[in-house]
Amino acid sequence: MSLTLDEIQNFKGKYPRQIWSLFFSEMWERFCFYGMRGMLTFFIVNVLFENSHLKIAEKNEIANLQYAAIQAFVYAFTFLGGIFADKILGFRKSLFWGGILMIAGSIILSINPHEYFFLGISFTVVGTGFFKPNISTMVGYLYKPNDERRDAGFSLFYAGINLGALIGGYVCITIGKGEMLSNYIPEHLRWNIAFSLAAFVMVISLINFVFTQRRLGTIGLQPGHPMSDNPEAKISKWKEYAVYIGTFALIPIIQIMVHKTEYTDYFMYIIGPLTLVYLFYEMTKVTPSERKKLLAALIFILFSILFWGIYEQSGGSLSIFAANNLNKDLFGLDSNGVNNSGGAFFIIFLAPIFGLLWLWLGKKKIEPNTIIKFGLGFLFLGLGYYVLFATKFFANLQGITSLNIFTIALLVITFGELCLSPIGLSIMTKLSTKNLQGMMMGMWFLASAYGQYVAGQIGAGMAKVKDGSTNYDALVTYTDGYKQLGLYAVIAGVVLILISPYVKKLMQDVK
């Protein structure tokens, strides 16, 4: 804690040294998250429903809805995690508590994923909510408010964490399916081992963060700590303990709501309006200038719901599509593994290039503003989904199409993600007031929760193929759906570009 905030922020070169340690912790957490994410839909359809009398279309529909519920709650709890970090725990304690819960959930799943699936998942849902928004917020504190290197830093951070997504997204699902290490892992233990990997890497993540804290100065300390930004805000110990106890009280509630997805519907109908009311209440306490910036942030948040609703088919309908309708013409790689990790693979190589591109354009005074970047993100997303639609033209009569063409679609979609997601994290920290940093980052992830929810509803709709339909009929249903999603994305991109002058005025001096 010898470093002051000014010393950290006045770093030389493109990146602060602390960002490397933070993205290393986040990298292993993302291994855990994307490893789980990649397994969910496939595991529900092929393992939990293995002996079910449900028709395949019904299995796929329920799996899409349960996957969406799990992912929606993951991101919804990042909103609560951000508030608790702001008001009670501080970013560091919140992150560590979340990591402990994720380890517990992964261990439960590794013991018996068939019997304890929803219990273990509930632990990881709440744990991710405490972990995820706070490490991103700490990255934001490494930079001064108008530091032009901030976008490049978040892009680098984004590339680093995707290394974990790449490894976890491919390794976990392929071990579970028996496509990797099948000669060494008995068939009845494959899913146990796949889930246990998530616990192992989270232990590494937390150990790394313990050593990282020494170089973070005052960043992330609990309110009321003598060296924190708010030393006068004394937090009673009972409040901190109440957060920990309340966490365990939430576990069975999440377990029920994920298993019975109609309860998730009620939750999503309520939490969004309440969150907006809370935000508008907080906006009454700030200056008019700050209020305009928060309104601009809200516009970004609302459009991001649509973006993630389309983008996040990857864990739901695209997981089923990859399992049933793709071949192995890409170096013999497993199609589900490619679906789960392909985007991360491209991000690792492209994110530093995008970061340097923004720096170069900034020096030339021709860098597009953030709202234009959002619009470009939608346009690339739409183009990527048109490529997914085009996979049907390469299909055989059995409804099997090319993994190569599918991977090209992932590449194009990745261009869109790189225009939006890392810049979105950055813009939330720039437009938020100091005392609302964690909450606004949480709202960004809450928008992702609604995106996940919308994605599940879309995926469930595409899963409703008629009785007696062939695998080719299913392929046509899915690809036609992807064409519609591509059209919606393009329209949203055009709208964002058209309203960019208005949003730029709201952002004022923020670039």
Per-residue pLDDT of the chain (511 residues; tens, 9 = 90+): 467 767 777 777 777 877 888 888 888 888 888 898 889 888 998 888 887 777 888 888 888 899 889 988 888 887 777 778 777 777 788 888 888 999 999 999 999 988 899 999 999 999 988 887 677 777 877 888 777 777 777 777 777 778 889 999 999 999 999 888 888 899 889 999 999 998 899 988 888 888 877 777 777 676 655 565 666 667 777 887 888 888 889 899 999 998 888 888 888 888 888 888 888 888 888 788 888 888 888 888 889 889 989 998 888 889 989 988 999 989 889 999 999 999 889 988 887 787 788 778 888 888 777 888 889 999 999 999 999 999 999 999 999 999 999 999 999 999 998 887 666 666 777 787 777 776 777 677 778 888 888 888 888 888 777 767 788 988 998 999 999 999 999 999 999 999 988 888 888 777 6
Long-range contacts of 359-362 (CB under 8 A, 24+ apart): 359/14, 359/148, 359/149, 359/152, 362/148
Look up tokens 């246990």; give the residue: 196
Give the DSSP H/E element, type plus range, for residue 263: helix 261-283
Residue type for position 192: N
Nearest in space to 48 (alpha carbons), one of 37, 62, 36: 62
Q: Compute the distance between CA of residue 19 and CA of residue 16 in angstroms, rounded to an integer.
A: 6
User: Running DSSP on this structure, what letter comes out for residue 366?
Assistant: -
Assigned domain for 203 exists: yes
Nearest in space to 405 (alpha carbons), one of 495, 300, 280, 321: 321
Say whether 401 sits in a helix, a strand or coil. strand
Assigned domain for 2 exists: no
pTM of the model: 0.83
Q: Compute the distance between CA of residue 187 and CA of residue 181 in angstroms, rounded to an integer.
A: 10
Look up tokens 């409804």; give the residue: 399
Q: Compute the distance between CA of residue 15 and CA of residue 26 in angstroms, rounded to an integer.
A: 17
Q: How many domains does the chain have?
A: 1
Q: Compute the distance between CA of residue 131 and CA of residue 124 in angstroms, rounded to an integer.
A: 10
Question: Which CATH number does the domain housing residue 242 bear?
Answer: 1.20.1250.20
Whether 303 and 500 have beta carbons less than 8 Å apart is answered as no
Nearest in space to 1 (alpha carbons), one of 297, 307, 226, 192: 226
Whether 258 and 477 have beta carbons less than 8 Å apart is answered as no
Whether 213 and 92 have beta carbons less than 8 Å apart is answered as yes
Nearest in space to 138 (alpha carbons), one of 263, 299, 268, 9: 9
Assigned domain for 4 exists: no
What size, in residues, is the chain?
Answer: 511
Domain that includes residue 68, residue range: 15-507
Assigned domain for 274 exists: yes
Assigned domain for 365 exists: yes
Distances from the Cα of 389 to the Cα of 25, 93, 343, 376, 456, angstroms? 37, 45, 18, 20, 19
Assigned domain for 223 exists: yes
Assigned domain for 403 exists: yes
Helices (H) and strands (E) in the chain, counts: 16, 0
